[in-house]
Amino acid sequence: MLELSINGGAYESRAEVGKTLLEVLRDELGLTGTKLACGEGHCGACTVLLDGAPALSCITLAHTVGTRDVTTIEGLRDHPLVGAFVRADALQCGFCTPGQIVSAVALVEANPSPSRDEIRHRMAGNICRCGAYPRIEEAILAWRG
Amino acid sequence: MARLIKTEKEVEGRYEETWVVVEEDVLDQWPAGPLEVVGRDAERIDGLERARGEALYTADLKLPGMLHAAVLRSPYARAHVKRIDLEPALAAPGVRAVAGPGDVHVLTDSPGYPGQAVAAVAAETFHQAREAVKLIDVEWDVLEPLLDPEEAIARGELVEEPRRYERGDLERGLAEADVVVEAEYRTQTLLHNSMETHQSICRWHGDGKLDVYISTQFIWGVRDSVASQLGLNPDDVRVVCEFMGGGFGSKNGPGDYTYIGAELAKRSGRPVKCALTRREENTATGNRNATIQRLVAGAKADGTLTALGGDYVNAVGWAGFSPMTGGPMQYLYACDNVRVVEHGAKLNTPPNAAFRAPGFVEGTFGLECILDELAAKLGVDPLELRRLNYADDDADGRSYSSKNLAECYRLAEPHWARRDDVHARSEGQWKRGIGLASQVWFGGGGPPSYAWVRIGADGRATVVTAMQDIGTGSRTAMAQIAAEELGLPLDRVDVVLGDSARGPYASISAGSSTIPSMGPAVRSAAADAGRQLLEIAAQRYDKEQRVLSLKGGNVVSQDGGSWPLAGLCELLGDGQILGSGARGPNPTGMRILTFGVQVAEVAVDVETGEVRVERVAAIHDVGRIVNPLGARSQVEGGIVQAIGHTLSEDRLIDPQTGIVLTQTLDAYRMPTIADVPEIVAEFVDEPDKHLTNLGSKGLGEPPIIPTAAAIANAIRDATGADVRSVPVTREEMLRALREARVGAIPA
């Protein structure tokens, strides 16, 4: 039995060895806010936090998570960044957005006043095909409202 | 009143004449400019749901008992299946159904491109299905693929007959010219790569009816195609798409995955999800085809265009359509002598699919680059050359329903005037320059499209229509339009969409048509509901109906009386006001087009060939702007995608085998946040007075059209080098620089 700490709660999973954290989150626990878009660690749509650091859940094996706290978009729904993204119109189709917000949370928790260059560096792993980037930058600059 | 008319319908540049039942459009247009809700910035009404990860996309849906499909796709560009054994797959753990060539029309034993579907498996988990696919035993006869588009044209391998357009006499026009430029331009194959891959879930009911949950741009098109292919009544197919993760033109139809899912669901008696992987997405779901453009342009010494000629090769692929790559040359300028010929090469490469202004993105690159080459030879300012050859009416005898390109040019002046400053910022090996390009495209939408508006005792209005919001913000725009008509604040309007069984017919979300097709229908439905509210109000408050109107959430009388609408609606109890509306006809005999201009600033490192786009100013004319905030986002997104098209994206194939080499997102390089320049988006925002009760055209495609040419022209301005091929990789940039003999480039 695999024990996981997710969004402050304890979960038990019967996931076989080889399952990814993304599969456990989405398929077993129904936490579908974390998206599967490439499955190979190239796009950032599956980003979650492990002890506060961004991680790509589609290439993270569930059995390697150990005692680290997993935070998904479901655990960040009331974070001010969510409202900041909506106000800035920082999303279009929205499929990459939870991953963008999770990455942005890690960024602002480490540095509450990031510069444009820091945002561009730290967010470059999250692809948005709709191209909402200018507004994502604005949302993160103005995240505290 | 409903009437039957014969009308021309246009989707992405393809016209067809059809009979359409339309209803009269009796509402006068609103005045131009910002109103109470329409014309003002609105946050997306579904923004929180999407941002919080609560919105359920097709990818997130799980039906009870649902199986997962995996598809065996041809590893060869052209092959024949000599023998296939599906039994080992059927016996594999978790497998509940298999299908092979001929079992469904989309499974073939003679694949014509790498990635074409051959067989499929449904199992309890996707992992099991994928493992079982590996067990399918196939003996292949590998055949020589045809990969060169020019060879295909020479051999007569075409997807359709060549399209010819001609006005005047090209040879005469060239003879009259003082200056002639001839050049060949090339554009590459590009992949849509929507973040949500193509996918659907099929579920059969005992009575032979089928539910299809699908990530689609056209709920009703999927319904009709699936019903027709499977021999069902259209209403026996229910199509659902509440949230979808991008399409860009690639999700207009059911796709092979839906037919595969339907067949496997039938065989297993279980719902089946067929979700493509990112690698399948990059091989089997369509692309923007590569082009070769041989162009000629001639002008008098004063800059008057006398001749424009284009011979276009569209490298279409195994199937698909030959886009209007010559469209911009046909439509953009007043020129008496124009000849366009478009060939669509049939190849053993994956089929093309509409991709955000198909043809016009590619064709505008060639046309607007050769115009700047011509301007340089003539010694005429590029903006001036475009103004000199302004088309006041359509060369084929139609008048424009509206055209404000001249105003776009005027608004571009301050951006164009930055030229000297931009040049002055050149420093060492970094050369800076500025370039512009014009845009023409369709985007008028059309009938039929319908909407309902329901108002209940809570005083809220709900728009009901079976359209889809593919991420453009159309859900929000519809709420704004209904709110405006009903005099309600935006937060008292809901929109229910995405289900063919629970709303009326709605148009495709492609061809920049959602707002111009659906918006007028929603306004008409809201007006119908509003009229009924006023009928009740007239009786309740003892007023003549003609003195009453709806404003700011109140019923307002011309004599000064005002009553909260909520109070009136309370009288409804369990009753409801039901309004219905339809999209009226397009103006007959008119050309409905969108226009714009973009000005790009670039920096080029003449030693390494690196190109950085530093600023793009975009001015577009798409009639009335419903949501300026969403419109700016749409423009920015189009420009970001265009920068990828211009500098980094390239679907590569192995030139011998035809295998797609760029199947993953590290190999197919899309822009990231670090690649984005400063973007300025402006609009003419003048309602098209001939077009519907709204005066709005579509904005999905226009912003992606002129960017590549504007960047290439800025590169020429910066370096003197003619870039004639995209993507402008460092190799291409260095080649162009060498050709222009500028910069200290080692041989």
ipTM (interface predicted TM): 0.98
- What is the pLDDT at residue B7? 73
pLDDT tier at B382, thresholds 50, 70, 90:
very high
Chain B positions in Cβ-Cβ contact with residue A95 (cut-off 8 Å): 57, 59, 194-196, 245-246, 471
Q: Considering only the beta carbons, identify the residue of A73, A97, A132 that sits closest to B637.
A: A132
Residue B15 has pLDDT above 80, yes or no: no
Classified as helix, coil or strand, A55 is strand
CA angle B425, B429, B434 (to 5 degrees): 45
Higher-confidence residue of B395 and B524: namely: B524
- What is the pLDDT at residue B23? 80
Nearest residue of B to residue A28, measured between CA atoms: B62
pLDDT (average), residues B472-478: 97
- What is the pLDDT at residue B124? 98
pLDDT (average), residues B708-714: 98
pLDDT (average), residues B8-20: 71
Q: Considering only the beta carbons, identify the residue of A77, A120, A131 that sits closest to B637.
A: A131
How are beta strands B272-275 and B67-73 bridged, if at all? parallel
Cβ within 8 Å of residue B31, ≥6 positions away? none
Residue B649 has pLDDT above 60, yes or no: yes
Chain B positions in Cβ-Cβ contact with residue A119 (cut-off 8 Å): 673
Answer whether 0.95 is exceeded by the pTM.
yes
Cβ within 8 Å of residue B691, ≥6 positions away? B401, B402, B444, B516, B586, B587, B592, B623, B697
- Tell me whether residues B676 and A94 touch, CB distance under 8 A: no
pLDDT (average), residues B267-283: 98
Calpha distance B595→B61 (Å, rounded): 40
Residue B689 has pLDDT above 70, yes or no: yes
pLDDT (average), residues B18-30: 85
Classified as helix, coil or strand, B5 is strand
- What is the pLDDT at residue B655? 96
* Per-residue pLDDT tens digits for B618-628: 999 999 999 99
- Tell me whether residues A35 and B59 touch, CB distance under 8 A: yes
Size of interface A-B (CB pairs under 8 A): 166
CA angle B182, B183, B188 (to 5 degrees): 155
- What is the pLDDT at residue B599? 99
Q: In Å, how far is A67's CA from the nearest CA of chain B?
A: 25
Which residues between 73 and 112 in chain A have a beta carbon less than 8 angstroms from any beta carbon of chain B? 73-74, 77, 82-83, 85-87, 89, 91-98, 101
- What is the pLDDT at residue B743? 47
Nearest residue of A to residue B627, measured between CA atoms: A89
pLDDT tier at B668, thresholds 50, 70, 90:
very high
* Per-residue pLDDT tens digits for B216-225: 999 999 999 9
Beta-carbon-side half-sphere exposure of residue B676 (alpha carbons within 13 Å): 32
Chain B positions in Cβ-Cβ contact with residue A132 (cut-off 8 Å): 633, 636-637
Q: Considering only the beta carbons, identify the residue of A42, A72, A131 that sits closest to B664.
A: A42
- Tell me whether residues A134 and B636 touch, CB distance under 8 A: yes
Calpha distance B27→B530 (Å, rounded): 13
- Tell me whether residues B636 and A123 touch, CB distance under 8 A: no
List the structure tokens of B311: 């011979």
CA angle B147, B662, B671 (to 5 degrees): 125
- What is the pLDDT at residue B745? 45
* Per-residue pLDDT tens digits for B426-459: 999 999 999 999 999 999 999 999 999 999 999 9
pLDDT (average), residues B289-313: 98
- Tell me whether residues A130 and B44 touch, CB distance under 8 A: no
Residue B744 has pLDDT above 70, yes or no: no
Q: Measured between CB atoms, does B126 come within 8 Å of chain A? A: no
* Per-residue pLDDT tens digits for B188-233: 999 999 999 999 999 999 999 999 999 999 999 999 999 999 999 9
Beta-carbon-side half-sphere exposure of residue B12 (alpha carbons within 13 Å): 23
Calpha distance B528→B460 (Å, rounded): 15
Q: Which residues pair with A12 in a beta bridge?
A: A3
Q: Measured between CB atoms, does B54 come within 8 Å of chain A? A: yes
pLDDT (average), residues B310-339: 97
In the predicted model, what is the mean pLDDT of chain B? Answer: 96
Helices (H), A70-132: 80-87, 97-110, 116-122
pLDDT (average), residues B506-527: 97
CB B660 within 8 A of CB B387: no
* Per-residue pLDDT tens digits for B110-140: 999 999 999 999 999 999 999 999 999 999 9
- List the end-to-end C-alpha distance of chain A, in Å, as a whole number: 43
Residue B746 has pLDDT above 60, yes or no: no
**E-state strands within B583-691:** 590-591, 594-605, 611-621, 678-683
pLDDT tier at B3, thresholds 50, 70, 90:
confident
pLDDT tier at B505, thresholds 50, 70, 90:
very high
- What is the pLDDT at residue B742? 54
- What is the pLDDT at residue B25? 85
Mutate: best of A26, A28, A29, A93, partner B, most B CBs <10 A: A93
Mutate: best of B673, B678, B680, B707, partner A, most A CBs <10 A: B673
Nearest residue of B to residue A90, measured between CA atoms: B633
- Tell me whether residues A127 and B59 touch, CB distance under 8 A: no
Name the burial class of residue B397, with classes exposed (0-12), middle (13-18) and buried (19+) by CB atoms within 10 angstroms of its CB: exposed
Calpha distance B476→B634 (Å, rounded): 13
How high is the mean pLDDT in each 10-residue block of chain A (145 residues)? Answer: 96 95 97 98 98 98 98 98 98 98 98 98 98 98 94
- Tell me whether residues A93 and B245 touch, CB distance under 8 A: yes
